[in-house]
């Protein structure tokens, strides 16, 4: 792309032509923007308008296109010119619809529009057409870690979609927990009786499938590489190691049961007390006959204690609900009732949670005579040959002691997440890692760590980052299966506690995500959430000072270090959030179409009114995932906000380099607002840690402001959600008031 040719297209549609002076804007584009082609169209997004642009690209050699009209989020299908670099000046949602109507506001409205034009031209000058990741690799085989219900499902789903699958299971046989069940909770109409697990059939399908290869009694000794080119070493128990190449990984490492020994108050360890897994074992031994205890004693009364060692707010046991245990206890009570209706079965619950069609199953158990009561169990003690259960009946509001031959504790699922990498000692990085609440926990000795599942060679640690309570997840609602390691997807109970039916759905979803990942990787494109993005971080290593901030702060562990401690970018692992770009103190990291310069030049492009003009300028750096759409929605809803604000979308607040803020203040901007997503435990950041990092960086900016003799109010950050259209307008107006109160910036006129 030797010759760059810049073109600007001004749209007069949607009322822009009537309210704004397009003539002035054309002058700005010509004199300040130095655009070579300038055109005006009444409806630019019409077939005619789009064709005019296409013709210029084809015939005039236009390489850079500025579209001044609607928001960059609108008409994306019409304005789709992948061969050019494109900037959009948001005159419709950003100016026309948000500045109060009427001729009184003509002047500020026109100023705002002119500024957006200036900013668009400035941005375009610094942009290049993304070429796609050059280091892409196209291995499309999918590795499934774990051969339980989730792993088997992921394997068969991926294989039947046409992808090669490698399945690694640490046990010498397939099946996982499902193989240890006598029967499963029904998943088909009429949802009344325990059902056969169907596992044998699934295993047979997997084993017979020509695209699936199974490694039993094997673990992963090492996982290296990136999507499209993961190199995994599969080790058998005997120590033999084979190396395989795969494109993506589904981690379905499942769960372990909560240790009964941690529940002595509930009788953990007594011969008359088992957990649900223990009862499955007894039921399997009985095989439909009368269920006996392991010591051979007959059982005429059973008590099921729900939430044993779960939903514990005290911090001693599992804090969460494992979801499946209510239905499992209902099923197990039926084992007894079906074999002998005279066995007394009591289920003590605090909340009976029977999601899906579980209500029918619950009803079925009731009609079989299983007694349910809301009760809080305090202790289970040995009594005679059985035990006595002490509980408070919450319906009858009284303390009860109930004898039983057998007590079944519904303990929870503990995810097999491997090593919690947050607990790994990071002496070199410790001082640079933000000390948020989560990582403030003391570093535990490595001896307490469980064995790693993946043994990743990433500098960030051998396993997937955990979200909370040891669960390997990114976001329950917004992006399930996603982890913070690109191309590696968690499925099943390792991700969140779940039953077999949910695990099956989950595994199917994860398999599809893995397929997307290998397909995107092969084309050099980003995975979720910027799926399909061809830009990638380009680093000018000659300027790098080896400070390691990019490697430490990358939320996705995409950046390793070489032996000279320079960063090594694994573009295929990158999600293109730009957090590294925001972190880099020497600003050597850039994307072709998004860089310190593309935003910086916009900030510096404005015609800044002087100190006495009473027309302040407020820079708004808005996350394009939530905040910018909220601003657009404010426009769509015609919610007015101050015409002194100039919004620039950023990929993530994590990509905000503090130089932008310094530049803005030095250029005479009166205030800088940052709008990003919610951070912390219940974060909504699409890049998980981006907004948190931005917040951390901003916490240091007050010192800089004080050094510049500026009020600390001149920089403010806000957490907004995509639904906050009314609120973003209010925030802007409030901030404009604040600026009015503290006065115009004293730094005007020095740039």
Partner 1 sequence: MHALRTTGHQTIPAVAARYRNNFLKEVEAHVEDGEWVKMCMQCGVCAGSCPLGAHWEHPPQELFMMIRAGKRAEVLTSDAMWMCTSCYNCVVRCPRKLPITQIMHGIASYAQELGLAPEVQPTRDFSIQFWKNCTKTGRVNEMKLTVGLYFKDGLVAGIKQVMNMLPVALGLMKAGRLNPFELLRGHSPKDQKGIAAMLKRARAIEAQRAPVTH
Piece of the chain touching partner 1 by CB under 8 A; list 13-21, 73-81, 390-398, 469-477 = 390-398
Footprint on residues 346-385 left by partner 1 (CB under 8 A): 346, 352, 362-363, 366-367, 369, 371-374
Q: Is 301 a binder of partner 1 (CB under 8 A)?
A: yes
Q: Which long-range contacts (CB under 8 A, 24 or more apart) does 46-51 make?
A: 49/9, 49/11, 49/78, 50/78, 50/79
Side-by-side strand order, sheet with 230-236: 218-224, 230-236, 241-246
How many residues interact with partner 1 (rule CB under 8 A)?
A: 19
Q: From residue 232 to residue 271, what is the string marking binding to partner 1 with x (rule CB under 8 A)?
A: ----------------------------------------
List the structure tokens of 284.
């399997």
Residue 438 DSSP class: G
Which residue in this structure is represented by tokens 């299983």? Answer: 370
In the complex, minimum distance from the CB of residue 280 to partner 1, in angstroms, rounded to a whole number: 24
In the complex, minimum distance from the CB of residue 339 to partner 1, in angstroms, rounded to a whole number: 15
Helix (H) or strand (E) holding 380: strand 371-383
Footprint on residues 391-430 left by partner 1 (CB under 8 A): 393, 395-396, 400, 402
In the complex, minimum distance from the CB of residue 365 to partner 1, in angstroms, rounded to a whole number: 10
**Rounded Cα gap, residues 225 and 571, in angstroms:** 11
List the structure tokens of 315.
């911090």
List the structure tokens of 210.
């020509």
Nearer Cβ to partner 1, position 171 or 393? Answer: 393
Nearer Cβ to partner 1, position 391 or 735? Answer: 391
In the complex, minimum distance from the CB of residue 72 to partner 1, in angstroms, rounded to a whole number: 50
Q: From residue 121 to residue 150, what is the string marking binding to partner 1 with x (rule CB under 8 A)?
A: ------------------------------
Footprint on residues 170-229 left by partner 1 (CB under 8 A): none
In the complex, minimum distance from the CB of residue 345 to partner 1, in angstroms, rounded to a whole number: 9
β pairing state of 230-236 and 241-246: antiparallel
Side-by-side strand order, sheet with 344-349: 273-275, 406-409, 301-305, 344-349, 371-383, 386-393, 398-404
Nearer Cβ to partner 1, position 61 or 341? Answer: 341
In the complex, minimum distance from the CB of residue 346 to partner 1, in angstroms, rounded to a whole number: 5
Among 167, 166, 171, CA closest to 217: 171
In the complex, minimum distance from the CB of residue 371 to partner 1, in angstroms, rounded to a whole number: 5
In the complex, minimum distance from the CB of residue 184 to partner 1, in angstroms, rounded to a whole number: 23
Which residue in this structure is represented by tokens 């950003």? Answer: 94
Given candidates 106, 222, 244, 344, which one binds partner 1 under the rule CB under 8 A?
A: 344
Side-by-side strand order, sheet with 488-490: 212-215, 165-168, 142-145, 248-251, 488-490
Footprint on residues 313-342 left by partner 1 (CB under 8 A): 342
In the complex, minimum distance from the CB of residue 300 to partner 1, in angstroms, rounded to a whole number: 10
**Rounded Cα gap, residues 649 and 119, in angstroms:** 12
**Rounded Cα gap, residues 657 and 488, in angstroms:** 29
In angstroms, the first-to-last Cα distance of the chain is 33
Nearer Cβ to partner 1, position 301 or 662? Answer: 301
Packing angle, helices 658-666 and 596-603, rounded to 10: 20
**Rounded Cα gap, residues 555 and 529, in angstroms:** 13
Piece of the chain touching partner 1 by CB under 8 A; list 344-352, 668-676, 686-694, 700-708 = 344-352
Nearer Cβ to partner 1, position 405 or 553? Answer: 405
Nearer Cβ to partner 1, position 172 or 341? Answer: 341
In the complex, minimum distance from the CB of residue 348 to partner 1, in angstroms, rounded to a whole number: 9
Instruction: Find all residues with CB under 8 Å of 739, minimum gap 6, and list them.
Output: 616, 618, 644, 670, 671, 713, 714
Q: From residue 49 to residue 78, what is the string marking binding to partner 1 with x (rule CB under 8 A)?
A: ------------------------------
Cα angle: 589, vertex 590, 594; to 5 degrees: 150
Provide the CB-side half-sphere exposure for 115 (13 A, CA). Answer: 24
Footprint on residues 607-626 left by partner 1 (CB under 8 A): none
β pairing state of 413-415 and 255-257: antiparallel
In the complex, minimum distance from the CB of residue 277 to partner 1, in angstroms, rounded to a whole number: 25
Which residue in this structure is represented by tokens 């250029």? Answer: 667
Residues near partner 1, by CB under 8 A? 301, 342, 344, 346, 352, 362-363, 366-367, 369, 371-374, 393, 395-396, 400, 402
């Amino acid at each position: 792309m030797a010759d760059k040719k810049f073109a600007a297209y001004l749209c007069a549609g949607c009322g822009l032509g009537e309210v704004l002076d397009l003539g002035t804007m054309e002058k700005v584009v010509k004199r300040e923007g130095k655009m070579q082609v300038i055109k005006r169209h009444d409806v630019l997004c019409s077939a005619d308008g789009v064709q005019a642009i296409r013709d210029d690209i084809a015939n005039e050699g236009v390489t850079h296109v500025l579209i001044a009209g609607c928001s960059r989020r609108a008409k994306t299908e019409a304005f789709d010119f992948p061969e050019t670099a494109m900037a959009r000046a948001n005159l419709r949602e950003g100016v026309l619809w948000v500045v109060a109507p009427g001729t009184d506001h003509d002047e500020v409205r026109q100023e705002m529009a002119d500024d957006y034009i200036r900013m668009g031209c400035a941005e375009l000058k610094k942009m290049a057409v993304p070429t796609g990741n050059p280091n892409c690799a196209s291995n499309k085989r999918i590795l499934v870690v774990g051969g339980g219900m989730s792993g088997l499902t992921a394997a068969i789903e991926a294989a039947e979609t046409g992808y090669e699958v490698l399945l690694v299971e640490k046990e010498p046989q397939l099946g996982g927990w499902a193989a240890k069940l006598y029967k499963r909770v029904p998943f088909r109409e009429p949802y009344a009786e325990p059902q056969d697990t169907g596992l044998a059939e699934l295993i047979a399908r997997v084993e017979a499938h020509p695209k699936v290869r199974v490694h039993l009694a094997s673990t992963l000794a090492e996982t290296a590489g990136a999507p499209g080119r993961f190199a995994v070493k599969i080790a058998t128990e005997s120590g033999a190691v084979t190396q395989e190449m795969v494109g993506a990984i589904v981690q379905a490492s499942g769960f372990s049961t909560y240790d009964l020994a941690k529940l002595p108050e509930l009788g953990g360890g007594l011969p008359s007390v088992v957990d649900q897994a223990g009862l499955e074992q007894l039921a399997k031994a009985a095989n439909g006959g009368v269920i006996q205890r392991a010591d051979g004693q007959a059982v005429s009364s059973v008590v099921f204690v729900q939430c044993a060692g779960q939903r514990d707010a005290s911090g001693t046991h599992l804090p969460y609900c494992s979801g499946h245990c209510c239905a499992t206890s209902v099923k197990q009570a039926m084992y007894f009732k079906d074999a002998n209706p005279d066995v007394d079965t009591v289920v003590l619950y605090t909340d009976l949670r029977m999601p899906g069609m579980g209500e029918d199953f619950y009803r079925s158990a009731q009609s079989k005579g299983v007694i349910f009561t809301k009760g809080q169990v305090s202790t289970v003690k040995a009594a005679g040959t059985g035990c006595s259960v002490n509980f408070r009946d919450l319906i009858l509001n009284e303390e009860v002691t109930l004898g039983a031959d057998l007590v079944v504790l519904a303990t929870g699922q503990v995810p097999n997440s491997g090593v919690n990498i947050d607990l790994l000692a990071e002496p070199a990085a410790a001082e640079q890692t933000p000390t948020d609440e989560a990582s403030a926990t003391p570093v535990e000795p490595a001896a307490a760590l469980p064995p790693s599942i993946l043994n990743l060679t990433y500098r960030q640690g051998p396993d997937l980052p955990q979200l909370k309570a040891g669960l390997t997840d990114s976001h329950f609602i917004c992006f399930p299966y996603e982890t913070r390691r690109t191309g590696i997807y968690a499925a099943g109970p390792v991700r969140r506690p779940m039953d077999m039916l949910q695990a099956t759905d989950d595994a199917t979803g994860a398999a599809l995500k893995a397929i997307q990942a290998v397909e995107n990787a092969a084309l050099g494109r980003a995975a979720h959430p910027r799926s399909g993005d061809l830009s990638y971080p380009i680093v000018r290593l000659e300027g790098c000072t080896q400070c390691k901030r990019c490697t430490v702060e990358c939320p996705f562990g995409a950046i390793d270090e070489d032996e000279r401690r320079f960063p090594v970018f694994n573009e295929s692992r990158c999600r293109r959030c730009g957090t590294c770009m925001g972190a880099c103190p020497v600003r050597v990291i850039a994307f072709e179409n998004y860089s310190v310069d593309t935003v910086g030049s916009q900030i510096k492009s404005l015609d800044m009114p002087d100190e006495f003009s009473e027309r302040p300028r407020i820079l708004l750096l808005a996350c394009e995932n939530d905040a910018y759409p909220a601003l657009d929605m404010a426009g769509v809803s015609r919610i007015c906000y101050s015409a002194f604000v100039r919004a620039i979308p950023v990929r993530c607040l994590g990509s905000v380099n503090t130089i932008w803020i310094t530049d803005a203040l030095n250029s005479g901007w009166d205030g800088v607002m940052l709008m990003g997503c919610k951070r912390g435990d219940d974060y909504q950041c699409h890049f998980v840690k981006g907004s948190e990092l931005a917040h951390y960086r901003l916490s240091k900016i007050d010192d800089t402001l004080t050094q510049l003799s500026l009020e600390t109010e001149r920089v403010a950050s806000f957490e907004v959600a995509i639904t906050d259209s009314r609120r973003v307008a209010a925030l802007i107006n409030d901030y404009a008031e604040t600026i009015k109160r503290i006065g115009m910036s004293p730094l005007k006129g020095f740039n």
